[in-house]
Chains A and B, each alone.
Chain A
Amino acid sequence: MIAGPIVDVAFWLFAIGSVVAGYRVFRTDSMVRAAFYLLASFTGVGGILVLLGAEFLGMVLILMMAGEMLVMAIVMVMFMMNPAGLNPMVMVHQNRIAAGAGIVAFVALAGVGLVGQFPDRPAPEPAAATAQLGTELLGDSMLVFQTAGVALLSTMIGAIAIAGRRGRYGVAEDGSVEPPLQPDEERAR
């Protein structure tokens, strides 16, 4: 466990930075900017995890988020009518439902933070914490993680098979067209 004034300063920097960046995700007008703000927010959370002694989890969060946010930005730009994500667009919708869900989630999490009982014991050394995590992943929780892993892998293979050139509805060069919604509807060729 690390402590001291520098840790406090770092915590508040990460915490405020995460919240501000998270807020900016919804106030910016570009999908790529939103993805980068979200990445900044997650990086702050990763920093807080490191301060809490979960060095491995914090760094892995940062490591994974870098690639994920890039993929997310590219995919969002691909699917939206917004070349390169530089054109201004509104990033929020269904405002009432979203505000309600946000308030409920905040109250619930804040309630847990205020009322919940937290263990009061020193965190293990980072190396020991990493070792414990590995033992957990390949010990008691192995079945859960392996099941999730295989499910994710098969999803990825399926997605690639559908999106590939020899896709679901024929070869791309032959003009693959999805079947009509109504069975008797004739397709105009």
Chain B
Amino acid sequence: MRPYVGAELAILAIGGTLIVGVYLVAVLDRLLGAVVAGAPIRPFALVVDPARSAAQLLVQQRRTTERPDAPGWAFAPALFFGLGALALAMVPLGPNLVVADPATGFVVFSAAIAFVMIAVFLHGWSPNSPFALHGAYRYGAAALSFQIPFLLAMLATALPAQSLSIVDIVRAQETLWNVVREPLGLPIYLIVGVGVSFWGPLNLSDASDLAEGTSVEDSGIGRLLWKVARAGMLVAVAAMGAAGFLGGWWGPLLPGPVWVLVKTLVLLVMLIASGHLLARVRIESFVLVAWAILIPLALLNVFVSGATLL
């Protein structure tokens, strides 16, 4: 039987990480935007601005649409946020420092990523609004395309560990991190990671060319919760990337948990910076690239990492 922490500690750990992480994403997004734009950086404004935006959304009057699916609309952000929390719960800070380490952690994480499709589709479908529905269909097309490369990229990390447990996957990287052992894995994972939280170049479903797509009809706390859930998923993706490809807690000098935080932060900055440095791709091109290039590359990655283990 693998160790699980108690419910209170789990809620405290994951909730605390998500609150800090989501706020950090909001600050980093503004900071990197200012850096890329060459605008003056005012630290106080950067730190306060997310709280101000959140407060503004909290007191904003809520509006609704004609005949929406109200339960689905309310449920979608909660589901999305819960999936981020589920993914984060399996990221180990140390060999025995993890909220949950199911024997099939890799499959649980993949299921959480697959369920994001449902959350986003529900969010775009339920307001009964054309642009929102367009956004939902876009996410469906994009998500079905990046699901297979994502699974294959993650699968390659399970091969050297000979286990589906995330802790075992990190443990197997003691001598050689997966980013070196299988160089194709991390880039594919990051592309998918940007897609899962529909951030930056892969923000197709909530894109400005659709007047914010699935969240076009959101207002007030609903809009705030959706933004929070998106940022939370970005944090979870970065943390899992650090565990799966950057060797998790392994590293010289510093203690293990600090290494996990540093690596997560590096990936988080890369993911957020992509929004300010890269143009948004077109959905048609992305679907073509995903099926025709990413899947063969991911398969190659699996074959190479399998062959090196023989």
Contact = CB atoms under 8 A, between A and B. Distances in A.
B133 A84 contact: yes
B128 A59 contact: no
Interface in A10-59: 30, 32-33, 36, 39, 55-56, 59
Contacts of B140: 70-71, 74
Nearest to B118: A66
A171 interface: no
A86 B104 contact: no
A67 B133 contact: no
B118 A69 contact: yes
Given A59-B108, A67-B144, A70-B117, A86 B67 contact: yes
Contacts of B111: 59-60, 62-63, 66
Interface string B95-117: 00000001110011011001101
Interface in B108-145: 108, 110-111, 114-115, 117-118, 121-122, 125, 128, 133, 137, 140, 143-144
A67 B117 contact: yes
Nearest to B129: A84
A60 B117 CA distance: 16
Interface residues of B, number: 28
A30 B147 CA distance: 27
Contact of B163 (A36, A63, A64, A127): A127
Contacts, number: 73
B72 interface: yes
Contacts of B122: 36
The secondary structure that dominates the B interface is helix
A59 B107 contact: yes
Contact of B125 (A2, A32, A60, A62): A32
A70 B104 contact: no
Contacts of A55: 102-104
B125 A71 contact: no
B49 interface: no
Contacts of B164: 56, 127, 130
Interface in B162-199: 163-165
A67 B114 contact: yes
Contact of B121 (A33, A70, A130): A70
Nearest to B144: A67
A3 to B, nearest CB: 11
Contacts of B1: 2, 125
Interface string B265-287: 00000000000000000000000
Nearest to B108: A59
Nearest to B168: A127
Interface-central residue, B107, B110, B122, by most chain A CB under 10 Å: B107
A76 interface: no
A74 B137 contact: yes
B167 to A, nearest CB: 12
Indicate the member of A2, A30, A127 with the most B CB atoms within 10 Å: A127
Nearest to A2: B1
Contact of B165 (A2, A33, A66, A127): A127
A66 B117 contact: yes
B107 A86 contact: no
Contacts of A73: 121
B69 A130 contact: no
B128 A86 contact: yes
Contacts of B117: 66-67, 70
- Residue among B103, B137, B144, B164 with max Cβ neighbours from chain A (10 Å): B103
Nearest to A63: B111
A84 B137 CA distance: 10
A64 B122 CA distance: 17
B103 A39 contact: no
Interface in A88-140: 125-127, 130
Interface in B64-103: 67, 69, 72, 102-103
Residue from A30, A32, A59 whose CB has the most chain B CB atoms within 10 Å: A59
A39 B75 CA distance: 15
Contacts of A126: 102-104
A62 B113 CA distance: 11
Nearest to A62: B111
Given A36-B72, A67-B144, A60 B103 contact: no
7 contacts: A36-B72, A66-B111, A66-B118, A67-B147, A70-B140, A84-B125, A127-B165
Interface of A: 2, 30, 32-33, 36, 39, 55-56, 59-60, 62-64, 66-67, 69-71, 73-74, 84-86, 125-127, 130
